[in-house]
């Protein structure tokens, strides 16, 4: 079972750096790094625009969090960490420059943490949060006590990060602004490559794919890349990758092959045929949908490459409690003589919406599926919904 380890671990050190200030500390990526840094013994503080459960959690760990951004917040900091969402004219960022305090991107700080551990980085347009979490769960079940930093809250721990005493650091690698190029892991996993966040890449799919190529070439020559062979973007990239590649998926040529997939309510089962064809793991994961079976297969394949024992892989997947807002079952809602099961899912890319709808139809085959979408959002909802509506079946109402 994956557990939080509250015990601090002595810091390996970053020169004279001790006081770290994080702008936007309540964000999904920033808060996890803050939690690990605090656990390592650094004096961590930060700012955010609003109060939130994440901010409350950080405060409970001794992290000072200011609401609002003011120049005086950074006066005593040794380094400032910023996410891509923090503008150049942010008053704390401006003050840091005037005080000659280093300002580093979030991913650069994450890369610094990775220098002292066996780094495992999971990238991909879709599925990276779930896959990262599954890897951490398996390693936890195996007694490896990993450190992890992910972009969602684990249902089992209520946190998106934990500082372990083991050798492994498992992180979610963010391709949205190419910041994953700061990372230098020992192993990487790529779930898929599909156009997204194209504003950062000038609308150029070739540049987007090239970023994944560069990410994989940050691996040492003795490192390994796990890649889902079912994905066309991955297959197109493979000829350019000059590192050891291990593939997984339903594709007939995959090194780790998914067979006998079947949906069983809010769970799914499948067989993972390992290299040699007669070596099979029968796996269950408490999440619906073929896409989640592939996420689980990738996590299992990577852990097999690490020589994690079979029982830990089987048990780690079977006991995985899911990630917040990833097909989260919120229970039954009743109104008069009617009832409906409410599912909350973060997916907003057309492909994510489509696979979520497919998973819902498979899980609730005899019922009507109704999709409710918020329209007040910064994401391209109209385009997403129009694309997903095209993929809906007659049993789905949107």
129 has catalytic annotation? yes
What angle, rounded to 10 degrees, do the helices at 350-363 and 290-305 form? 100
Beta pairing class for 19-23 and 79-82? parallel
| 35, 163 contact by CB (below 8 A) | yes
Structure tokens at 31: 């808060």
Which among 92, 112, 125, 128 is annotated as catalytic? 128
Helix ranges (H only) for the chain are: 28-39, 53-60, 91-98, 106-114, 128-141, 205-216, 232-237, 290-305, 310-318, 350-363, 381-391
Catalytic-labelled residue, pool 35, 112, 125, 129: 129
Report how far residue 73's alpha carbon sits from residue 173's, in angstroms, rounded to the nearest whole number: 29
- Whether 35 contacts 25, CB under 8 Å: no
Q: Hey, what's the torsion of the CAs at 18, 22, 27, 28, to 10 degrees?
A: -30
Query: Structure tokens of 4?
Result: 């939080």
Contact in structure between 159 and 227 (CB atoms under 8 Å): no
The one catalytic residue among 35, 112, 141, 172: 172
Measured CA to CA, the distance from residue 244 to residue 257 in angstroms comes to 18
The answer to whether 128 is a known catalytic residue is: yes
CA distance 78 to 70: 17
What are the phi and psi torsion angles at 296 (to 5°)? -65, -40
Cross-strand bridge partners of residue 296: none
CA–CA separation, 135 vs 265, rounded Å?
Answer: 23
Q: How many residues does the chain have?
A: 398
Q: Which residues contact 278 (CB under 8 A, 6 or more apart)?
A: none
Closest CA to 152 of 322, 34, 344: 322
Burial of 100 (0-12, 13-18, 19+ CB in 10 A): exposed
What's the rounded Cα separation, in Å, for the pair 169 and 33?
A: 12
Q: Which residues are catalytic?
A: 128-129, 172
């Amino acid at each position: 079972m994956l557990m939080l380890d509250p015990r601090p671990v002595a810091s390996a050190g970053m020169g004279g750096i001790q006081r770290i200030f994080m702008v936007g500390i309540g964000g999904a990526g920033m808060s996890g790094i803050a939690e690990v840094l605090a656990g390592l013994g650094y004096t961590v503080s930060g700012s955010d625009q609003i109060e939130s459960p994440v901010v409350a959690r950080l405060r409970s760990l001794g992290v000072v969090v200011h609401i609002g951004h003011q120049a005086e917040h950074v006066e005593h900091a040794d380094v400032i960490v910023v996410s891509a969402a923090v503008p150049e004219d942010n008053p704390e960022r401006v003050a840091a420059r005037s005080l000659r305090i280093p300002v580093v991107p979030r991913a650069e700080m994450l890369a610094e943490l990775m220098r002292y551990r066996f780094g495992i980085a999971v990238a991909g347009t879709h599925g990276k949060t779930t896959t990262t979490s599954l890897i951490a769960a398996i390693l936890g079940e195996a007694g490896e006590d990993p450190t992890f930093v992910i972009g969602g809250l684990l249902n089992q721990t209520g946190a998106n990060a934990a500082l372990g005493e083991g050798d492994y650091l498992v992180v979610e690698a963010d391709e949205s602004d190419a910041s994953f190029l700061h990372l230098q892991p020992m192993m990487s996993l790529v779930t898929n490559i599909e156009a997204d966040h194209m504003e950062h890449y000038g609308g150029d799919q070739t540049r987007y794919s090239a970023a994944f190529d560069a990410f994989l070439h940050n691996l040492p020559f003795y490192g390994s890349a796990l890649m889902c062979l079912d994905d066309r973007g991955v297959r197109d990239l493979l000829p350019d990758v000059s590192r050891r590649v291990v593939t997984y998926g339903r594709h007939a040529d995959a090194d780790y092959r998914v067979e006998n997939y079947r949906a069983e309510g809010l769970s799914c089962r499948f067989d993972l045929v390992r290299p040699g064809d007669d070596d099979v793991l029968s796996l269950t994961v408490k999440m619906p949908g073929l896409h989640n079976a592939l996420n689980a297969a990738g996590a299992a394949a990577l852990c097999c490459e690490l020589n994690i024992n079979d029982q830990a892989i089987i048990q780690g997947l079977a006991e995985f409690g899911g990630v917040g807002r990833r097909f989260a079952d919120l229970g039954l809602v009743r109104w008069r003589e009617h009832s409906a099961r409410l599912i909350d899912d973060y997916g907003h890319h057309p492909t994510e919406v489509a696979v979520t709808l497919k998973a819902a139809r498979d899980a609730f085959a005899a019922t009507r599926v109704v999709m409710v979408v918020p329209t007040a959002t910064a994401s391209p909802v109209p385009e997403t919904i129009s694309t997903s509506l095209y993929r809906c079946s007659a049993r789905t109402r949107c």
